[in-house]
Amino acid sequence: MLMLFLDRNNLISQYELKRELHGLREELQFYRDQSRKDSIELSRLLGDSLELERLGREKYMMKRDSEDIYIIVRKPVIKK
């Protein structure tokens, strides 16, 4: 009976370790999925110069020398 509560491999520790392992496995799956998505996006960008230009314009606000960019920031509507 003492082993259930005093040993370092007691039931509470085992439960916490299983819970931590489950969380780490979910995190690993998330990063694998994200890596897969990023690999697909990278291959698409390297294969298509128009797609690369679109990404640069939308995400990094890049422009050609002959263009001007206007950024419109809308104020959030506060309801009373």
pLDDT tens for residues 11-45?
788 899 999 999 999 999 999 999 999 999 999 98
Q: Provide the whole-model pTM.
A: 0.59
Mean pLDDT estimate for the chain: 85
Q: H helices of the chain, where?
A: 2-6, 11-47, 49-60
Tokens 């640069």 — which residue? 56
Predicted confidence at residue 5, as pLDDT, reads: 59
> Cα–Cα distance between 28 and 30 in angstroms, integer?
5
How far apart CA 34 and CA 48 sit, in angstroms, is 21
Name the pLDDT band for 9 (thresholds 50, 70, 90): confident
Contact 11, 4 (CB under 8 A): yes
